[in-house]
Amino acid sequence: MSLIAAGSALALALVVLAVLLAVRQPWLGLQLRMEGPGLRVTAVAQSGPAAQQLVPGDLIVALEDPALGRLHAAGFEPALEPHVLASYQAYDARLQREGEFWAYLQQPHFTALLDNGSALSLAPRAETPVRALPAPFWLFHLFGMVAWLTGLGVWAFRRGQPATRLFLLSGLGFFLATWSNSLYLSRELAIDPALLAALGQFNHGALYLMLGSLLGLLLYFPRRLVRRAPAYILCVLGLVLVLNDHQRWWGWPLHDFYFPILLMYFAGVLAASWQWRAARGRPLDRAALRWMFLSVFISTGMSLMVYFVPAMLQRQLLISQTAMVGFAVTLYLGLALGILRYRLFDLERWWFGAWLWFFGGLAVLLVDAAVVFVFGIQPVAALGVSVIAVGWVYFPVRQWFWSTFAASGQEQLEDHLPTLVGGLLAANGSADMAHRWCRVLKNIFHPLDVRWVAAPSAPCLVEQGARMQVPVPGSDQGLELVYSQRGARLFGRRDLDMVRAMLTVTEQAEKARTAREAGAREERRRIMRDLHDDVGARLLSLVLGAPDEKQADRARAALRALRESIFALDDEVRVELLDCLDQWQLEVEQRLHSVPTVLEWHCEGVPGVSLCARQAINLKRIIHEAVSNALHHAHPSRLVITATADQHSLRLRVNNDGAERRPAGQLPGRGLHNMRTRAMELGGSLHAEAQGDGYQVRLSMPLGQTREQDDDA
């Protein structure tokens, strides 16, 4: 803050110095405009020295003094910016003409000759009152202060960056240019030609400092494209341009003063194109560049079109220099936002709109100028023709351009609603929902990377839109998406709105899914009760009333199958995998008791893993069917069953050393088909194939919760 305070104090001191220099100029209390053969009086100050002699509307055709003679006023514009003159010769002639009028202002009094033959004696006052300083004087200082303080404020908080130093130098150049401009553009009739020449040289030096710094900024920000040597070369070139304005070593095409400015503009376009290409794959850098392009090329481009280009072509200026400088100062606000990377995620929405607005206005100006200069149509009629032509040609093209490019990369929620709702309704639990939610987000935004993070309370943007964090419905975790559209753009507010809408849809879908599952659960419970109370009771009666032991065993087997079916319907029950494997091992050993087959049973990493009832039943029946197939088709001497599990997956292998004996041409039976169907129901896969001299059945399936996770739940 001390740097900003010191810089502000220095700028205010220079403004005070400008006021002191301005008030020391002679004062007539007149506002004059070149018109016809002389100078038209447009306003007269009531307290001025000419208040009792001249009135608005009088036309001064000449000045006369006994010592200086008569000086005709035709062709002399008092407030002319000397640098709009195309050549050094015209500039020198203007300085000479300025000196002639200045000599009259140095006299105690002189005579003003009017077009009606009147001769009036005018006595200039030695100083100009502060209140009489014109509005452009104060506006130029205001614009300069805005540029200087903007550059100073950015540099004060980012002093370690070359870009901010260049931005500071550019703001300083702008301030010094407007400071000198304020003195000679606010003159009433004339100013000391030596002072005018010095101020003009100072103004051009400051202008080259501003433009050279901006060009250097485009070479250094957001990525350094060159080494330090080119920066020094820019300084040397700026110094050479200033010296050439003074020494006149060579002239320039079209305009000796403004042609170098045009060259700097095109050099800036090349540097910006280079930066844009170098920022490929870095959305943050490109977003900052968009701010710079908007500020630099719209403000300077508009200034070129409405002020510098007409001056170079010796046409009438479309706006005053005060308006041009006021428009140019917006450049610094845009550059400050770009360098500080402020609210970059809001840029996508109106980036194309701003450019289309600029080109729309530019198209009207160009067509209007072409109609006036080429076809010679009056300006009022030409404006109507240009508006009609642009409306019929430009606006349809603009609409096509907007729909083609501005909307690219912007997804619409309705395009993804069917997939979103269908996937969420089909989700099988929270883990499956999180997986489907992640997949939908990937399909919509195509991020460079997706990471699991702590769940945010609501969707939010991180690092000005480089990353977007999104909560996962039904989970205590969240997803972080890195760069949208494979790194082509940042996330924006529109993306946040879309994700919020998706979360709302997801909540409704989750409610519908929960209601559906609750209804299904209640129906399963009813079926379980009916099976247990009715069918179970009847089977138990068959066991107790069986005429012989064989019939009783069949009834007991049916009763066990019924209990397993009832158990499979209960989705709230979980059993430990290790207990299930022990039970299944005993059952397989009992089946092998009457055959000459040796069983080897291996379990790895299974403690703490739990299964739901349906998983347990499907696994049991897969093992049962695999053992049955081996005994029926292969008659093995050795059967090896291996179960390997962790918290996320289970792998089961059933190997036998017998060769499967299937008649030629016989297709696989229902047993293998049922095993694969059960594996798919478990979310896994099953493969059965010959291996060496034997046969192998392999199952791989994902697991849900561990016992510890069950306890936490």
What's the token pair of residue 48?
Answer: 């001025």
User: Is residue 154 domain-resident?
Assistant: no
* Structure token digits, residue 632: 């029926």
Res 100 pLDDT > 90? yes
Residue 115: inside a domain: yes
Residue 406's pLDDT band (cuts 50, 70, 90): very low
pLDDT (mean) for 91-118: 93
467-471/460-462 β-pairing: antiparallel
Say if 96 falls within a structural domain.
yes
Indicate the residue among 88, 111, 126 that finishes a domain.
Answer: 126
CATH number at residue 700: 3.30.565.10
Confirm if 59 and 114 have CB atoms less than 8 A apart.
yes
Using CA atoms, how far apart are residues 338 and 14, in angstroms rounded to an integer?
29
User: Do 191 and 42 meet the contact criterion of CB atoms below 8 Å apart?
Assistant: no
Residue 484 lies inside a defined structural domain of this protein: no
For the stretch 139-191, pLDDT in tens is: 999 999 989 988 888 888 777 778 888 889 999 999 999 999 999 888 899 99
Instruction: Choose the final residue of a domain: 102, 126, 150.
Output: 126
Cα distance between residue 188 and residue 18, in whole Å: 15
Backbone angles phi, psi at 63, to 5 degrees: -115, 150
**3-class DSSP state of 344:** helix
The count of other CB atoms within 10 Å of the CB of residue 259 is: 16
Report the 10 Å Cβ neighbour count for 230: 14
| Total domains present in the chain | 2
Q: Radius of gyration (Cα) for the chain, nearest Å?
A: 44
> In the prediction, which pLDDT does 382 show?
65
pLDDT digits (tens, 9 = 90+) for 186-224: 889 999 999 999 999 999 899 999 988 888 888 888 888
Q: Among the ranges 289-293, 351-355, 485-489, which has the highest mean pLDDT value?
A: 289-293
Whether residue 111 is predicted with pLDDT greater than 50 in this model: the reply is yes
Q: Which two tokens stand for residue 138?
A: 């104060």
The type of residue at 290 is R
582-586, 588-592, 612-616: lowest mean pLDDT where?
612-616
104 found inside a domain: yes
**CA 307/CA 255 separation, integer angstroms:** 13
Q: pLDDT tens digit string along 308-340?
A: 888 888 888 878 888 888 888 887 777 666 655
Q: Which two tokens stand for residue 305?
A: 């079109």
**Highest averaged pLDDT of the listed ranges 53-62, 534-543, 572-581:** 53-62
To the question of pTM greater than 0.75 for the whole model, the response is: no
The predicted pLDDT at position 408 comes to 46
Give the separation between CA 215 and CA 479, rounded to whole angstroms: 41
Q: Are 120 and 54 in contact (CB under 8 A)?
A: yes
The whole-number pLDDT of residue 347 equals 46
- 193-220 vs 162-185: helix crossing angle, rounded to 10: 160
Q: At residue 108, does pLDDT exceed 80? A: yes
The verdict on residue 167 lying in a domain is: no
Positive or negative torsion for Cα 223, 233, 214, 311:
negative
Report residue 521's pLDDT band, with 50, 70 and 90 as the boundaries: confident
Domain boundary among 126, 146, 179: 126
Tell me which amino acid residue 684 is: G
pLDDT at 396: 73
CATH number, residue 56 = 2.30.42.10
Domain interval for residue 74: 26-126
Of the candidates 594, 600, 586, the one whose C-alpha atom is nearest the C-alpha of residue 657 is 600
Domain assignment present for residue 542? The answer is: no
Q: 94 lies in a domain?
A: yes
Cα–Cα distance for residue pair 198/632, rounded to 1 Å = 111
Amino acid letter, 484: S
Higher pLDDT, 167 or 648: 167
CA distances from 290 to 280, 339, 486, 662 (A): 13, 11, 19, 72
pLDDT, mean over the chain: 81
Strand-pairing partners, residue 477, are 454
713 has pLDDT over 50: no
